[in-house]
Structure 1
Amino acid sequence: MHVLVVSHYFHPEGFPINHISELLAGQVESVTVLTGQPNYPEGRVFKGYRAWGFGRERTPQGVEVLRLPVVPRGSGRALRLAANYLSFMASLAVFGPFRLWGRPIDVVFVYAPSPLLKALPAILLKRIKKAPMVVWVQDLWPESLSATGFVKRPFLLRMVEHAVRYIYRHSDVILVQSDEFVGSVAGYAPPGKDIRVHYNSVPPQMIPADASTEPPPTDALAPGRFNVVFAGNLGKAQALDTILDAAALLRSRDDIRFVLVGSGSESAHVTARIASEKLDNVVMAGRFAPEQMSGVFSHASALLATLRRDPIMGLTIPSKLPVYLATGKPVIAAMDGAGARVVTEAQAGLACPAEDPQALAQAVSTLADSSVAQRQMMGERGKRYYADRFEANRLVRDLVKHLRSAIAGEKQA
């Protein structure tokens, strides 16, 4: 089976599709990734790449990577983001067929974080290659647009809705990242459309050893305090003010420290609040390479995930949650819906309502005051839950079955 992966993002950008493609290459005849020039999250093209260039690479695992020109996302302002998304879509439609010329493709697999509209040109590739298309939905559209306020005009939302219906109609199989996604996607898909749940998995290199003897990769994680680590994108959807407000409520707890690992559109805002309010119990640790993250997790006392209070956010399992569970550390989920359900179901930590600083402060205090044995038990339960649902090799084997069934369905049709 020859698989074409269509993804806006790929190595050296840090997305789950990286390790999924590499593991997939060991299960099928070939994997080709059609992607853009790497520039996420800083908005500048990585060294060794050109925004308006092409390129061809092969990973050590045998994945062939074909690059397309894109407009870099820049500082993340709306116009630059739109230019980034639209330029990738245009490159897929105009240059994609030429880049794939003469290559056998049995199935088109679209990795679809926001915006879902990037799947539109993949329909053209599907037709040219006469192959079925499997779309893996990571974010709900058009609901996410209205929830984040990125698009407010009803006319534009209706246009997006029509595009989403078109994508789902021309998908042979639709995969969704949580059970809670199924109902929403089914509302835009034709009756009887094949919709399946396929969870995000964890890059194996991010799972720390059971006992790390290496020093922490940042002094912020030095022992002696209860280190609550938030790792990932620092954006509006993460409701970071909730963390800062909770930290303010816990000023008197010298034993508790919040460590924010990552970067994003809200980094400057968070840094400014820490300075202006003298939140000495919050540290901005910056970004780390994927291979360093196991060291970050090993030296954390607990791991924190937060989301905005919004019905749509409540349907999402943040991609960081499976990673957190795999580390064997207790988890605090300050969110509603699917994410809170996973942590509660796994008995891997504590869940509290989204955007409730007092509840978050109480959860952190409760966990900090619990015994080491109690926290270890939470971590072990989280690891078992991860192994049952989110383990990478298991999920890639499931993905191969989804792709093969799409091919079989196309042949029967």
Structure 2
Amino acid sequence: MKIIYLHQYFNTPNMPGGTRSYEMARRLVAKGHEVHMVTSWREADGRTQWFQTQEDGIVVHWLPVAYSNHMSYSQRIRAFFRFALRAAQKAVSLRGDIVFATSTPLTIALPAVFAARRNSLPMVFEVRDLWPELPIAMGALRNPVLRWVARRLERWAYRHSESVVALSPGMRDGVVAAGYASGRVAVIPNSADNDFFQSTSASGARVFRQQRTWLGERPLLVYTGTFGRINGVSYLVELAARLRVIAPDIRVLLVGDGQEVEQIRSRAVAAGVLGDNLFIEGQVAKREIPALLAAADMTCSLFIDLPEMRANSANKFFDGLAAAKPIFLNYGGWQADLVEACGCGVVAWNKSLDDVAALVARCLHDRAWLESAGKAAQVLARESFDRDVLALQLERVLLDARDWRGEGASATAAGDYFSPVSKAPVEPENLTRGSQLP
């Protein structure tokens, strides 16, 4: 099967950021499929035209379109449409057997539907966030006309899809609420790259710690990722200020970049924690994350408190599981329910900062709890979110979508089809539990 895979922000392990599309695509290649990735090249290196590379068997078509989290919302929207227009032409020229498009942004549906209709191909659409609800909640879409257009685009994308892949149960519910048949939505969450994260040796973690004189053998809480408005990383500055008083040996490390990095740095200076118990380092390639998390005692996944974000399927959460580390969350939703159910971390949602600081201090000083919670995280990663298993489920969705079209079945005629993916990927009552919080 020749798969035309559209993802505007595709990353390889040599780049910073999530690698879901890379990991899924290379597994599809290993199964004998031909995968063409249509994506953007975000580096300002003077390139202006399409170029092509091979990444572990994936044929990647790169279009230079500048983008970063430092851009304003209007600049980002222009980048979305600039890519969509050029990607439509490229996707049509590649032909193939099926079009698979993954958001965000939602505008990826434009080239996907265009290519699918022009070449009479089936299309599968993957939903990574609740768009347009999320940008509306963030204030990025304030114009009522643009909101109307975004909601129409969402429904239009679903209407032209044989199946929809949602990254969480909450996203599935959002797709169904938009009028799409529930039986044709497959829940395939973000996944744990277990072998990738477990390949790091203990010596690699020791080297990481030894290279930082401020760290040594002290307890370490780590955040890796984007410093954007939605991530709310300044929460850790406030937490560090309280930990400095009650547990001054604990170190907080923030690794990444984004629109709010300088604001966070300024807040840390004002709070007196920068260079004391809180440290900031620049973003790193995904291949460097395993050693970083191996050196951590607890990892973080953060978002500002928006109801729309509780359905998220953050890479950081699954990376922490794969690294067999306890996870700290400051938001509610299905991931928080899993953490509490299996005892693999700390949920700060709806707790005061003073209470959270006290809880984090107790956990990071309790070696037995850290070991038990880490083991529970590893069990959850292997039994419920293993990338190899979930990639097979994605392959099944794509094959079934292709076969519908091959048999002349319309999307409507497909009825209440549901892929082998469980509607609820994991049930809390079936989890292996770690220790209770200290």
Q: Same fold (TM over 0.5)?
A: yes
**Could you tell me which amino acid in structure 2 is paired with residue 321 of structure 1?**
F
After TM superposition, give the deviation of residue 95 of structure 1 in Å. 4.0
After TM superposition, give the deviation of residue 8 of structure 1 in Å. 0.3
The alignment status of 1:36 with 2:40, answered yes or no, reads yes
Are the counterparts in 2 of residues 109 and 136 from structure 1 also a CA contact under 8 Å?
A: yes
Residue by residue, what CA displacement relative to the aligned partner does 1:83-123 show, whole Å, maximum 9, x if unpaired?
A: 2111111111244323x2xx5x111111212x212212210
After TM superposition, give the deviation of residue 125 of structure 1 in Å. 0.7
The alignment status of 1:321 with 2:317, answered yes or no, reads yes
The alignment status of 1:109 with 2:100, answered yes or no, reads yes
After TM superposition, give the deviation of residue 221 of structure 1 in Å. 7.4
Aligned pairs for 1:116-131 within 5 A: 116-131=106-121
Are the counterparts in 2 of residues 330 and 379 from structure 1 also a CA contact under 8 Å?
A: yes
Structure-2 separation of matches of 1:69 and 1:410: 33
* TM-score (ref. length: structure 1): 0.91
Are the counterparts in 2 of residues 206 and 290 from structure 1 also a CA contact under 8 Å?
A: no
Cα distance 1:35–1:205, how it changes in 2: closer, same or farther (>3 A)?
farther
Residue by residue, what CA displacement relative to the aligned partner does 1:130-176 show, whole Å, maximum 9, x if unpaired?
A: 22111110011121012211112333212211111111111110010
After TM superposition, give the deviation of residue 407 of structure 1 in Å. 1.1
Are the counterparts in 2 of residues 177 and 197 from structure 1 also a CA contact under 8 Å?
A: yes
Structure-1 separation of matches of 2:213 and 2:284: 13
Structure-1 separation of matches of 2:253 and 2:380: 25
Look up the SS of the partner of 2:60 in the other structure. strand
Among 136, 149, 161, which residue is 2:139 paired with?
149
After TM superposition, give the deviation of residue 187 of structure 1 in Å. 1.1
Structure-2 separation of matches of 1:92 and 1:317: 26
Look up the SS of the partner of 2:230 in the other structure. helix
The alignment status of 1:20 with 2:24, answered yes or no, reads yes
**Could you tell me which amino acid in structure 2 is paired with residue 245 of structure 1?**
E
Are the counterparts in 1 of residues 293 and 323 from structure 2 also a CA contact under 8 Å?
A: yes
Structure-1 separation of matches of 2:50 and 2:26: 21
- Ranked by relative contact order (alpha carbons within 8 Å, sequence separation 6 or more), the top structure is 2
Q: Which residue of structure 1 lines up, in the alignment, with residue 190 of structure 2?
A: 200
Cα distance 1:262–1:354, how it changes in 2: closer, same or farther (>3 A)?
farther
Structure-2 separation of matches of 1:193 and 1:220: 55
Structure-1 separation of matches of 2:157 and 2:351: 33
**Could you tell me which amino acid in structure 1 is paired with residue 180 of structure 2?**
P
After TM superposition, give the deviation of residue 379 of structure 1 in Å. 0.6
**Could you tell me which amino acid in structure 1 is paired with residue 307 of structure 2?**
P
Structure-2 separation of matches of 1:243 and 1:354: 15
Structure-2 separation of matches of 1:357 and 1:220: 28
Cα distance 1:208–1:337, how it changes in 2: closer, same or farther (>3 A)?
same
Q: Which residue of structure 2 lines up, in the alignment, with residue 6 of structure 1?
A: 6
Structure-1 separation of matches of 2:117 and 2:10: 24
After TM superposition, give the deviation of residue 269 of structure 1 in Å. 0.7
Residue by residue, what CA displacement relative to the aligned partner does 1:306-352 show, whole Å, maximum 9, x if unpaired?
A: 11111101111322111101111111111111221121233211212
Structure-1 separation of matches of 2:338 and 2:382: 13
Structure-1 separation of matches of 2:129 and 2:225: 17
Structure-2 separation of matches of 1:220 and 1:290: 24
Structure-1 separation of matches of 2:374 and 2:321: 7
The alignment status of 1:247 with 2:243, answered yes or no, reads no
Aligned pairs for 1:283-322 within 5 A: 283-322=279-318
Tell me the percent identity: 23
The alignment status of 1:97 with 2:97, answered yes or no, reads no
After TM superposition, give the deviation of residue 355 of structure 1 in Å. 8.2
Q: Which residue of structure 2 lines up, in the alignment, with residue 267 of structure 1?
A: 261
Q: Which residue of structure 1 lines up, in the alignment, with residue 404 of structure 2?
A: 409
After TM superposition, give the deviation of residue 74 of structure 1 in Å. 7.8
Look up the SS of the partner of 1:28 in the other structure. coil
**Could you tell me which amino acid in structure 1 is paired with residue 401 of structure 2?**
A
Cα distance 1:396–1:367, how it changes in 2: closer, same or farther (>3 A)?
same
Cα distance 1:339–1:94, how it changes in 2: closer, same or farther (>3 A)?
same
Q: Which residue of structure 1 lines up, in the alignment, with residue 176 of structure 2?
A: 186
Q: Which residue of structure 2 lines up, in the alignment, with residue 347 of structure 1?
A: 343
Look up the SS of the partner of 2:257 in the other structure. coil
Structure-1 separation of matches of 2:268 and 2:182: 51
**Could you tell me which amino acid in structure 2 is paired with residue 10 of structure 1?**
F
After TM superposition, give the deviation of residue 360 of structure 1 in Å. 3.0
Structure-1 separation of matches of 2:225 and 2:22: 16
Look up the SS of the partner of 1:207 in the other structure. helix
Are the counterparts in 2 of residues 243 and 357 from structure 1 also a CA contact under 8 Å?
A: no
Residue by residue, what CA displacement relative to the aligned partner does 1:231-253 show, whole Å, maximum 9, x if unpaired?
A: 11111111222211111112222
Q: Which residue of structure 1 lines up, in the alignment, with residue 382 of structure 2?
A: 387
Structure-2 separation of matches of 1:136 and 1:95: 20
**Worse overlay, 208-217 or 19-28:** 208-217
**Could you tell me which amino acid in structure 1 is paired with residue 2 of structure 2?**
H
Cα distance 1:223–1:73, how it changes in 2: closer, same or farther (>3 A)?
closer
Are the counterparts in 1 of residues 194 and 381 from structure 2 also a CA contact under 8 Å?
A: no
**Worse overlay, 273-282 or 374-383:** 273-282
Residue by residue, what CA displacement relative to the aligned partner does 1:277-307 show, whole Å, maximum 9, x if unpaired?
A: 2212110022222222111011101111111
Q: Which structure 2 residue ranges, 5 or more long, are not aligned? A: 410-438
Cα distance 1:56–1:274, how it changes in 2: closer, same or farther (>3 A)?
same
Structure-1 separation of matches of 2:66 and 2:6: 17
Look up the SS of the partner of 2:226 in the other structure. coil
**Could you tell me which amino acid in structure 2 is paired with residue 254 of structure 1?**
P
**Could you tell me which amino acid in structure 1 is paired with residue 361 of structure 2?**
S
Look up the SS of the partner of 1:350 in the other structure. strand
Look up the SS of the partner of 1:216 in the other structure. helix
Q: CA RMSD in A?
A: 2.1
Q: What is the count of residue pairs matched by the alignment?
A: 398
Q: Structure 1: which 4+ aligned runs deviate by more than 6 Å?
A: none
After TM superposition, give the deviation of residue 71 of structure 1 in Å. 4.2
Q: Which structure 1 residue ranges, 5 or more long, are not aligned? A: none
Cα distance 1:88–1:266, how it changes in 2: closer, same or farther (>3 A)?
same
Structure-2 separation of matches of 1:7 and 1:352: 33
Are the counterparts in 1 of residues 220 and 252 from structure 2 also a CA contact under 8 Å?
A: yes
Structure-1 separation of matches of 2:281 and 2:183: 45
Structure-1 separation of matches of 2:108 and 2:358: 41
After TM superposition, give the deviation of residue 354 of structure 1 in Å. 5.9
